[in-house]
Structure 1
Amino acid sequence: MTGGDMVAVDRSSTLQVWNFVESNSLGQISPMSIKLPHQQRYLSILLDMEASPAPQICMSCGGDGIYRYRECVYWPVFCTSWLRPFHRVQQWNGTFSEESSLRLASIVIHLGHAGQPCPTGGDFTQEVTTDDDDDEWDYVEEDRGPTHLRSPKDRSCLVVVHTNGIHYCNVKYCTCVGAEDSHLQLTMAGLFPATTKQPRTAFTFYVLDDFIRDNVECGTSAMNYYSKLQRITSNGFPHLVPMISRMWRLFKLLKWQGLHTSPKDAGPGELVLFCPACPQPVVNIHKEGIDLSQWTFARTLVMDGNFKAEHMHPTDHNNEVWLMDVKSFMVESMPYKEYLEGSTNVVKRSDCSNHHAINHANADRNQLASTGISGCACARHGCFVPHAIVDFQKGEQQVNMDYALVHAMQHGLGPGQRVIHFYDINCQYSKNLACQLKVNQFISMLASLTIQPGIGLWHMHGHQTECFVWYAPNFIPGVGHVDGEIIETLWSSLNIISPSGQGMATSHWQELLDFQMNDNNFLKMVQMSLSLNKKIKGAQQSCAAAEEAFAALDNSVMTISLI
């Protein structure tokens, strides 16, 4: 494929986008329809932009401009002295502008002196001889394809992953007396090294942050994100761009997130966000001696299981590294395993509607280490409770749910505070709860806490008629207008990214879920700041209308009684 052929393909794709927008205008006047009479002119302009600029003068110094920078308006041309790290440039070859690279332009990244050359001369990355097990990349060894995609034979340069593609970069490290190690010099320059021992690969901080945004907003997996970077690097030859051979070693999304924090002195669940509106002593209840047993200070929790968040057995569990264990939403791994090994799951015959779907969900484990997850969330605002998410081993068992509930009750509750707890089979679960906790040596609950069981309105229709008056939120004092089903909406958004974590290491899988849940709580907080004021005004108006209606009803009843 020649350069002209690729240009024609790229420009025809522009016309395809126009046609797509036009065909999806839903009967309205599309902005593109106004431009259709100028379609040929637009195409000619796009093709003219591929021609050699006249004159070829550097926009910076007025010298000979041989490189074109397409990430700026008008696609200006510059000389070699203007080029900066991670610019993606094109060079005119006499026929068309072909992709080039900073390495071919002999651009060097200097470390250790804020981008300035080291006074001692510095040193290039040394050639590294590694075993196959330690190799980070799958390189294309053939001398084919564009020159800027060919990996250096000695592999002495640094491979840098940025938002605009993969770059081969010449790097000079500081060699002054007392200089930091190479991986630390890279980190200080905003480059996250793939390893601490003679790194040959680094990621810009910006690309890691951009990956996280893609992950939480679009559900993009690491493999898909990197495939996009390959296409950005070379749309015509993406298969010639070096491919990461061990994705978990390099694109550790949540390991990066963990390094932003200071987990050393943090307690359980203290590195993540929780609902700012739920009544919490010390956090948003500061008055001393207040009676927390009042219904206005009741905490509403909803608990449920999710069988989409499966996880396969890790291939090398002895090599797993935990950065956020116990600090986020998932419970601490080792105490949870000890609890499961030392606790017996008691299964009693249900005297309500059968729940075989729950008892036998994912009973056929196959290669699954976890058949799903479960946890608690704020029933009113939809925020996950920190350090209260557990995983399943043989379906949704009471031992799993007990552990999640107990840890949720330990987060931000004060003595005597009431808890309204929703669970889809609470008519059976709540009967065995006190007995199971009393005999369990691993977990316990404060005796001063009062739990009011409830069942969500949607699940209520699958129960017997007697359950409605006992467990429906309509008849629970202090619960307000809550349906008890909000956690189902939380699972639906989490399920977008869950499949991409099935084959991850256990630590990475848990931190993936932790970050997704923390992002959910963050978005909930943003929404609260925008809507709470409006809701308060609406509640005040509704309260005044209700009081007026009640007074009118009360006066009419008194009049009738007098007559």
Structure 2
Amino acid sequence: WLPFRDEYLEEMLFVEGRRGLGQVCSGSRECRGEPTYACVDDECVQLGLMCQHCIVAAHRHQPLHWIKRWNGRWFQPTSLKELGLVLELGHEHEPGISCVFPKAAHHDFTVIHSNGVHPVSVQFCGCNALLDNRRQLLRNLWYPATPINPQTVTTFSCLRQFHHLNCLGKLPAYDYYRGLHIMTESRQRVKAPDRYRVFLRSVLQWRLLKMCKRGGRGHAATGIDGTSLGELAIECPACPHPGKNIPIDIYKIVSPDRAFLYTLFLAIDANFRLRNRVVSNEYRSPILGDGWAYLVPSKPYREHIENHVSEKEMSNCSGFLAMFLADMRNIMGLRCSGVGGVCCGRHRFWRKNGLGDLQKGERYCNIDFIFWSTINNEEYLIIVISYDISCQWSVNFWQRMAKLDSQFTVKFTPQGIHFMVPKFHLRAHQAKCHTRYSFDYAPGCGETHGEVIEEGWAQSNKAAAQTKEMGPGSRAMTLDDIFGFHNWLNSRTLDQVLAKRLVNAVKEFDIHYRDFVQFDSGLEKSVGRPLLDEWKRKVKVWEGNHDEECPYEDKSEDNQAQFKLRQLELIEEENAAWNDGKSGYSSSPCGFLVEGIELQEAQRSVALFVVVNKQITHTQQLELAKRRSGLIKRLGHFRKLQKLMMPRLSQVLSADELTHLTNEDHSCPEKVRLFLPSDIPRVADRVLACVADLPKMEAKLREAEAQDALERVRDGLRSRTGANRFKIRHITGQVGSTRAAGVLRQIDIRIHSRKIQYRLAREALVRLRGHGKWEDVLRPLMDEDVRGINERALTKEEQREREEKVKRLAVDEDADIDEFLVEEGIVSRVRGEGKRHLSWIWYQPDVSEDDLEFRDAICVEWCKTRARMLRWKEEVLLLTEELGRVSEYAMWKSEWWMKRFVGLEGMKSGVDLDLAEGLNSYVWQQAEFQSQTAELTLGKWEQLRKHATSVL
């Protein structure tokens, strides 16, 4: 484009002139008027220059275009009103006929259009007394600001444009109108009339009317006044709705093992971004359609809250302190401190009457009423509630619901309502909540994670700034509209989303089914089927009663340091030999080996210090010099012991090795080879060089060292997980994040160091013992194995992404080092119990009858592996059912619209033919759209549903 930019600019300036069209009026061939007028709007660019008469005639049906007049040097702005255009209303069906009884509109009649604010001359028709002024304006697709003697209107196209921009981009009405205002003044070079408040009023009414139109209220005999609570909300087509997308008597006939397919999943949360200041009041800004869509009805909600003003609720569990902050938040000057909401827990559709204002934080009384409102007058067999403080909110839940609705405990039972905590939020809870309220261990929940409501808030939060300063009526209607748009947008792609999830679920089920079968069959050979059946029985018992012992909780304790225990064992053997007079050494062989192993660890520490601190400071140089000085002293002491414990070492070394031994480089003592027994490759040479049993003793110590190093890797991974959680929950700001990143970096360095220690210890053990059964326990430790017990392995795609990040960090000085790690072998932190494959470092294959602690750990892992397999199986079944319900709901909705023709039961009748045609046309349009949706969904995904069912 750059070579042509001057050409583009010239053409933009070219159209500022007459474009060579100033000779003849382009209105008609017979016209001889002076061509001095042109239309500014793009759709009239082909009209060219016209005289005054022709430009007015050409715009008789386009009165909202801007006109400019050539004064001999440049184009000056003018308007069609100034040129004499008068728009006649009421005779659109009689082209060319003027009204014999015209009534002039107000001399300052103003039209707000998508291209600016226009002054327009209008004449109303006085022939038909039944067609008043406002109806004439509405039939011209102009929305009157007032029903009586309107002086300002907003075009339907302008309202539609703002409606879309506001719902999708959350563009405030002020900014939109300000844009129209500036557009008008920049074109007309005069101050435009201020109609901002008129525009706000029109938008408020437009939102309500659009919801009523789409909700079918224009067809009902009772009209808008007959709208019931929640009727205008867009329902989730994938959730179970008896009589709509599932049989009306399904809860009576479904078998217990398939009842979970008809579970209603709900997600509850509070959002403190959607605040509202004490601006205006309900008299000046009344709530239109109170409780008709997503917000709870204000009057009963307010009465309920007033009865619970003095209640105190404190949390003793959740790290998010939602209830504690309820009494701590600053609410000065606020009408409400946020919004509490309920959406479907799997598809992110906001529930009807599922939103309510929070006056002072997240209190039980608010959430109780909101939850009750969204399921009131409905019947479900099973409801699963996802709430980040479920562990506290569920306490005394039934007593509170009984006070709110005496029939609640009749319709629902404790066995039918289950409380869960979203997967991400669960990590902030105490350990006792991690199993009781986990989706991963709840039968029938599939791979539901419960965090969908957070995704919904992310969209609505964009409107927080504009709704904060609104009056109660404007805010309520705006929120209803925004949440409705969110639901509509979800419904457009819901079938594709569910199909994509189903494809993934089938793959994951196959993976986890194979993992479980292999794990289960291996344990059957090791511990026997009766023990596995007993573990399965414990799971069933716990699922029925969470007060029983939980099979998913790890009851094992941390192991003691194996290296110290092995060292103590060898020293005791040496002491026994001394007492029996069998030891012929003046020094301790065990002490020599321990000294060598610890010296190797000190060398690795110094080497890692050099690698990590590449741009070393003077202070770090001093620290390095001290460490190397200490190494040199310890090397001297070690060589003295080595001459006693390995007296013939020089006889088995090669020439190069001997040179290295006799001429040590003390400038880098961390690189000096120690030549322990494990460093001698041949067994015969090892026996010749060492005193008796020294290699066997080192083998025992190396085995203990490897076990200790592996345990310290596990400790480091646990520390890293805890530190990262703390950082996410409590650290904000650049300074705090930088410090936290430094802590995490040090933890990662320690993990890396212990990983290297394990590898070297294992390699030494291989040289000392050779390959054997011990390798089933101490396996090769790969980089991908170094992950926490709650972390999954990286996929190939994630590995490639991580490698690209590391490469980018190497060349980008501004990159955030906390985003990922640069030390080789440290695996990126990833989570997800549903997709996790346990790293071998967290379990071992041999389950001894005497090792009860390890048997409990294996029991826990077997239960978790089985749970993962079952959850993915349930997910496949749930998605298959939900995909079918989407088409069933669309078909029901099509039939619902077909019952809204004029003259049918409960619908309008006796209307004139033109109105009846409009009503029926809209019915056909909506019914056909829903019918096509049902057919497309069914035909597109039926084969996928059959395939998923066959896999199970």
Q: Deviations over 1:132-175 (max 9, x none)?
A: xxxxxxxxxxxxxxxxxxxxxxxx14100011111110000001
Determine if the alignment matches structure 1 residue 321 to structure 2 residue 321: no
Determine if the alignment matches structure 1 residue 196 to structure 2 residue 147: yes
Q: Deviations over 1:517-549 (max 9, x none)?
A: 111111111121333333334434544555566
Q: Deviations over 1:76-114 (max 9, x none)?
A: 324321112212222222111222211012111111111
Distance 2:169 2:376 in 1: 33
Counterpart of 2:234 in structure 1 is 273
Counterpart of 1:71 in structure 2 is 42
Bigger Cα displacement from structure 2, 527-536 vs 382-391: 527-536
Bigger Cα displacement from structure 2, 434-443 vs 90-99: 434-443
Could you say if the C-alpha distance between residues 316 and 453 of structure 1 is closer, same or farther in structure 2, counting changes exceeding 3 Å?
closer
Aligned-pair distance for 1:183?
Answer: 1.9
Asked if 2 retains the 8 angstrom alpha-carbon contact of 1:280 and 1:412, the reply is no
Aligned-pair distance for 1:349?
Answer: 4.6
Q: Deviations over 1:15-39 (max 9, x none)?
A: xxxxxxxxxxxxxxxxxxxx21222
Counterpart of 1:102 in structure 2 is 80
Counterpart of 1:212 in structure 2 is 163
Q: Deviations over 1:248-295 (max 9, x none)?
A: x64443420212312333322111212111122112112634338611
Given candidates 28, 36, 47, the residue that maps to 1:61 is 28
Could you say if the C-alpha distance between residues 350 and 51 of structure 1 is closer, same or farther in structure 2, counting changes exceeding 3 Å?
closer
Asked if 2 retains the 8 angstrom alpha-carbon contact of 1:157 and 1:168, the reply is yes
Asked if 2 retains the 8 angstrom alpha-carbon contact of 1:194 and 1:250, the reply is no
Quick one: which amino acid aligns to residue 518 of structure 1? G
Could you say if the C-alpha distance between residues 475 and 319 of structure 1 is closer, same or farther in structure 2, counting changes exceeding 3 Å?
same
Asked if 2 retains the 8 angstrom alpha-carbon contact of 1:255 and 1:508, the reply is no
Could you say if the C-alpha distance between residues 160 and 73 of structure 1 is closer, same or farther in structure 2, counting changes exceeding 3 Å?
closer
Aligned-pair distance for 1:559?
Answer: 7.1
What pairs up with 1:280-299 in 2 under 5 angstroms? 280-286=241-247, 288=249, 289-291=252-254, 294-299=259-264
Distance 2:275 2:300 in 1: 21
Quick one: which amino acid aligns to residue 305 of structure 2? L
What pairs up with 1:303-314 in 2 under 5 angstroms? 303-314=268-279
Asked if 2 retains the 8 angstrom alpha-carbon contact of 1:311 and 1:369, the reply is yes
Could you say if the C-alpha distance between residues 311 and 292 of structure 1 is closer, same or farther in structure 2, counting changes exceeding 3 Å?
farther
Distance 2:320 2:505 in 1: 38
Structure 2's unaligned 5+ residue stretches are 218-223, 530-952
Could you say if the C-alpha distance between residues 379 and 373 of structure 1 is closer, same or farther in structure 2, counting changes exceeding 3 Å?
same
Asked if 2 retains the 8 angstrom alpha-carbon contact of 1:339 and 1:442, the reply is no
Distance 1:210 1:491 in 2: 24
Asked if 1 retains the 8 angstrom alpha-carbon contact of 2:331 and 2:360, the reply is yes
Distance 2:506 2:21 in 1: 69
User: SS where residue 318 of structure 1 aligns?
Assistant: coil
Identity of aligned residues (%): 25
Query: Which has the larger share of strand?
Result: 1
Given candidates 400, 420, 425, the residue that maps to 2:384 is 420
Determine if the alignment matches structure 1 residue 438 to structure 2 residue 402: yes
User: SS where residue 217 of structure 1 aligns?
Assistant: helix
Counterpart of 1:183 in structure 2 is 134
Could you say if the C-alpha distance between residues 355 and 52 of structure 1 is closer, same or farther in structure 2, counting changes exceeding 3 Å?
closer
User: SS where residue 47 of structure 1 aligns?
Assistant: helix
Could you say if the C-alpha distance between residues 271 and 196 of structure 1 is closer, same or farther in structure 2, counting changes exceeding 3 Å?
same
Counterpart of 2:304 in structure 1 is 339
Aligned-pair distance for 1:387?
Answer: 0.7
Distance 2:462 2:314 in 1: 35
Aligned-pair distance for 1:428?
Answer: 0.9
Distance 1:419 1:200 in 2: 53
Q: Deviations over 1:333-370 (max 9, x none)?
A: 11111212234564355332465454335743222111
* TM-score, reference length from structure 2: 0.49
Counterpart of 1:124 in structure 2 is 104
Determine if the alignment matches structure 1 residue 93 to structure 2 residue 57: no
Distance 1:185 1:292 in 2: 60
Counterpart of 1:233 in structure 2 is 184
Bigger Cα displacement from structure 2, 341-350 vs 478-487: 341-350
Could you say if the C-alpha distance between residues 498 and 94 of structure 1 is closer, same or farther in structure 2, counting changes exceeding 3 Å?
same
Counterpart of 1:494 in structure 2 is 460
Aligned-pair distance for 1:445?
Answer: 5.2
Could you say if the C-alpha distance between residues 549 and 353 of structure 1 is closer, same or farther in structure 2, counting changes exceeding 3 Å?
closer
Asked if 2 retains the 8 angstrom alpha-carbon contact of 1:421 and 1:454, the reply is yes
User: SS where residue 354 of structure 2 aligns?
Assistant: coil
Quick one: which amino acid aligns to residue 280 of structure 1? H
Quick one: which amino acid aligns to residue 425 of structure 1? I
Determine if the alignment matches structure 1 residue 399 to structure 2 residue 365: yes
Could you say if the C-alpha distance between residues 88 and 345 of structure 1 is closer, same or farther in structure 2, counting changes exceeding 3 Å?
same
Bigger Cα displacement from structure 2, 390-399 vs 306-315: 306-315
Distance 2:17 2:451 in 1: 60
Distance 1:237 1:112 in 2: 30
Counterpart of 2:58 in structure 1 is 82
Query: Which has the larger share of helix?
Result: 2
Distance 1:283 1:430 in 2: 30
Could you say if the C-alpha distance between residues 314 and 239 of structure 1 is closer, same or farther in structure 2, counting changes exceeding 3 Å?
farther
Distance 1:239 1:469 in 2: 69
Asked if 2 retains the 8 angstrom alpha-carbon contact of 1:406 and 1:443, the reply is no
Q: Deviations over 1:460-492 (max 9, x none)?
A: 122111110111211111112122112112112
Bigger Cα displacement from structure 2, 548-557 vs 257-266: 548-557
Structure 1's unaligned 5+ residue stretches are 1-34, 127-155
* TM-score, reference length from structure 1: 0.81
Distance 1:230 1:96 in 2: 23
Distance 1:504 1:252 in 2: 15
User: SS where residue 432 of structure 2 aligns?
Assistant: helix
User: SS where residue 281 of structure 1 aligns?
Assistant: coil
Q: Deviations over 1:309-329 (max 9, x none)?
A: 112234342244333212100
CA RMSD of superposed structures (Å): 2.7
Distance 1:185 1:389 in 2: 38
Counterpart of 1:519 in structure 2 is 485
Could you say if the C-alpha distance between residues 550 and 519 of structure 1 is closer, same or farther in structure 2, counting changes exceeding 3 Å?
same
Determine if the alignment matches structure 1 residue 360 to structure 2 residue 325: yes
Could you say if the C-alpha distance between residues 111 and 300 of structure 1 is closer, same or farther in structure 2, counting changes exceeding 3 Å?
same
Counterpart of 1:138 in structure 2 is none
Asked if 2 retains the 8 angstrom alpha-carbon contact of 1:303 and 1:423, the reply is yes
Bigger Cα displacement from structure 2, 548-557 vs 294-303: 548-557
Aligned-pair distance for 1:122?
Answer: 0.6
Asked if 2 retains the 8 angstrom alpha-carbon contact of 1:376 and 1:384, the reply is yes
User: SS where residue 143 of structure 2 aligns?
Assistant: strand
Given candidates 493, 497, 500, the residue that maps to 1:531 is 497
Distance 2:406 2:309 in 1: 12
**Which is higher, the Rg of structure 1 or of structure 2?**
2
Aligned-pair distance for 1:439?
Answer: 3.2
Distance 2:228 2:409 in 1: 19
Given candidates 264, 267, 271, the residue that maps to 1:302 is 267
Determine if the alignment matches structure 1 residue 160 to structure 2 residue 111: yes
Could you say if the C-alpha distance between residues 50 and 265 of structure 1 is closer, same or farther in structure 2, counting changes exceeding 3 Å?
same
Aligned length: 496
Distance 1:356 1:238 in 2: 57
User: SS where residue 280 of structure 2 aligns?
Assistant: coil
Could you say if the C-alpha distance between residues 348 and 329 of structure 1 is closer, same or farther in structure 2, counting changes exceeding 3 Å?
closer
Q: Deviations over 1:212-265 (max 9, x none)?
A: 111012111111000111122232777811123535x64443420212312333
Could you say if the C-alpha distance between residues 391 and 250 of structure 1 is closer, same or farther in structure 2, counting changes exceeding 3 Å?
closer
User: SS where residue 317 of structure 1 aligns?
Assistant: coil
Counterpart of 2:588 in structure 1 is none
Distance 2:459 2:486 in 1: 9
Given candidates 150, 174, 180, the residue that maps to 1:223 is 174
Asked if 2 retains the 8 angstrom alpha-carbon contact of 1:194 and 1:203, the reply is yes
What pairs up with 1:5-84 in 2 under 5 angstroms? 35-56=1-22, 57-62=24-29, 63=31, 64=33, 65-69=35-39, 70-72=41-43, 74=45, 76-77=47-48, 78=50, 79-80=54-55, 81-83=57-59, 84=62
Distance 2:504 2:318 in 1: 39
Bigger Cα displacement from structure 2, 443-452 vs 84-93: 443-452
